[in-house]
Amino acid sequence: MKKNKVAATAAKIKETFQYFDYRIFIVYLLLMTIGVIAVYSASSEILLIHGFKATVYGQKQLLYAFFGVLICLACYSINLDYLRRGKLLLWLLVIVAGLLVYVRLFGQAVNGAKGWINLGPINIQPLELAKLV
């Protein structure tokens, strides 16, 4: 019974990534790796001068890159029929509009721009989500 579930899951993953363009994904991973190395090399000396660990920004960038790959793979596996129906788009518009109203009323100012939502360790700028929607 357990083998059938594993085989079914493997078949579904294989079907989902049947038309996956590995060449583009490899180039994406290469550019992402160059970006992580660039952030580390550009920030390590400055962090050492100020008494911090040299790898702080490099580790953050690597974490963001990892989440970027996960988001990329998740977006690839979305069935486009859901997007064509328009219901999902309508919900996304409602959510983003609500976030924009929240930012207008309660948003935090970062570098003089009042457009951020503080979620503890990260800040979100809903305007960027609105551009995607």
Is the model more confident about 122 or about 97? Answer: 97
pLDDT in tens, 56-105: 888 999 999 999 999 888 888 787 787 787 788 888 889 999 988 988 88
Specify whether the backbone of 102 is left (phi greater than 0), alpha (psi in -120 to 50) or beta: alpha
Q: Please tell me the pTM assigned to this model.
A: 0.63
Provide the greatest CA pair distance for the chain: 59
Give the C-alpha separation, 37 to 44, whole Å: 10
